[in-house]
Amino acid sequence: MASKALRSSLFRQATSSSCTSTNQQRGMAIPADPLGRFRQLANSTPVDEKPRVLITGSLGQLGRGLATMLRFMYGEDSVVMTDIRKVRADENDVCNYHYLDILNEGAIDEAIVNGRVNTLIHFSALLSAVGEQNVPLALKVNCQGVQNILEVAKRHSLKVFIPSTIGAFGPETPRVDTPDITVQRPKTIYGVSKVYAELLGEYYHHRFGVDFRSLRFPGIISATKPGGGTTDYAIKIFYDALKDGHHVCYLNPDTRLPMMYDTDCTASVLFFLAAQSSQLSMRTYNVTGFSFTPEEIAASIRKFMPDFRITYEICPLRQKIADSWPQSLNDNIARSDWAWKNDYGLDETTEIMIALIKREMAREKGEAPKAVIA
């Protein structure tokens, strides 16, 4: 079932940038060489500007793929991975890994100095659903943690990336084509803490000259374990499709949310960090891929697995959160300021997720090779 473009991406064999697979959203297509844009960026980075990056919370959903891409682009010693949990024996994509609790500011200093780090990517956080279950911890990790990170960035003149989220918007926000600057007023502790991070980062930029950068991500779809968010269903649905042919969805069939494929998320971070400060008219930008409802992603899966079934058991907590978030984001300013562009639409994402999970399942049975970037 996999297209030629997909096979190319999985096995890193593509050589040209011509398109072989089309998608209805924004009339896009998967590039035949999915790593081409990353290779080009690495080749165009002057030696004295090569990033040496420390990632906090790097064992979460987004950190591992980003670390793998950074190593591919800038070499094995370009990334220091940190988190607070022990690495499992099967996590063989984890390298140069150290324990780092972001609530310990002195320990962050130490890791930056010892690792000769010039760029800090701050991924540690409690996401929307788990944040509601432990508000005091969410406040500590998401607010105190950000304060510590910004102080360290100021002290060591670091470039610092702290992601924000669609969760930084609320029910009073215009929900369709949500612009960068609008009413926010989120109703989750996650959203409140992310607005704080956006504003505090911008304050450190204007007041102290810290090179703070932030992107408001939509839900990210990847073949890695999600950390307890409202958009997690859009990952689990693929695992359930392949294991059971059936997914029980906790959101209503018509709940539309903006999403993005993992590799586009990684690209947004790396191209944004590589942009010159003079290109940036803002420090916090929306970025997005495509929007869909549970019914629409199920229909996309059925193009590859015609017998797939979806049923619904609504989780009131997550439904309420989803109902307060944008249905689609406007990211035109990122597109014009620093040439942001997503490469993957819904059907490409579906095709790749199915292929990656099939490989993961085969690997578990000892039938497939290990690391893949797609």
Q: Which residues bind ligand AKB (CB under 6 A)?
A: 127-128, 165-167, 190, 219, 229-231
Q: In angstroms, how far is the first alpha carbon of the chain from the final one?
A: 16
Q: Which does 230 bind (CB under 5 to 8 A by kind): ligand AKB, ligand NAI, none?
A: ligand AKB
Residue 124 or residue 188: which is nearer to ligand NAI going by CB?
A: 124
3-class secondary structure, 224:
coil
Q: Which of 80, 87, 79, 78 is nearest to 59 (CA)?
A: 87
Among 3, 119, 124, 300, binds ligand NAI (CB under 6 A): 124
Residue 23 or residue 268: which is nearer to ligand NAI going by CB?
A: 268
DSSP state of 91: -
User: What ranges in the chain are assigned the alpha helix state H?
Assistant: 4-11, 36-43, 63-74, 105-114, 128-133, 135-139, 145-155, 189-208, 233-244, 262-274, 294-302, 316-323, 332-338, 346-364
Residue 59 or residue 280: which is nearer to ligand NAI going by CB?
A: 59
53: contact with ligand NAI by CB under 6 A = no
Please check whether residue 217 is in contact with residue 258, taking contact to mean a CB–CB distance below 8 angstroms.
no
How many other β-carbons are positioned within 10 Å of the β-carbon of residue 315? 15
Residue 5 or residue 210: which is nearer to ligand NAI going by CB?
A: 210
Tell me the per-residue interface mask from 287 to 316 with ligand NAI, x by CB under 6 A, - otherwise: ------------------------------
Residue 45 CB, shortest distance to ligand AKB, in Å, is 29
Respond yes or no: is residue 190 known to be catalytic. yes
Residue 160 CB, shortest distance to ligand NAI, in Å, is 13
Give the pairing of strands 159-161 and 119-122.
parallel
Task: Give the binding-site size for ligand NAI (rule: CB under 6 A).
Answer: 26
257: contact with ligand NAI by CB under 6 A = no
- Of 190, 204, 233, 261, which residue is the catalytic one? 190
Q: Which amino acid is at 293?
A: T
Residue 84 CB, shortest distance to ligand NAI, in Å, is 4
Distance CA 248, CA 27 (A): 31
Please check whether residue 271 is in contact with residue 332, taking contact to mean a CB–CB distance below 8 angstroms.
no
CB burial class (10 A; 0-12, 13-18, 19+) of residue 305?
middle
Instruction: Name residue, tokens 């607010």.
Output: 143
Scanning 83-91, 152-160, 170-178, 338-346 for contacts with ligand NAI by CB under 6 A, the matching segment is 83-91
Distance CA 3, CA 320 (A): 38
60: contact with ligand NAI by CB under 6 A = yes
101: contact with ligand NAI by CB under 6 A = yes
355: contact with ligand NAI by CB under 6 A = no
Instruction: Name residue, tokens 């109902």.
Output: 323
Residue 283 CB, shortest distance to ligand NAI, in Å, is 16
Site of interaction with ligand NAI (CB under 6 A): 56-57, 59-63, 83-85, 101-103, 123-125, 127, 141, 163, 165, 217, 219-220, 227, 229, 231
**Catalytic residue list:** 190
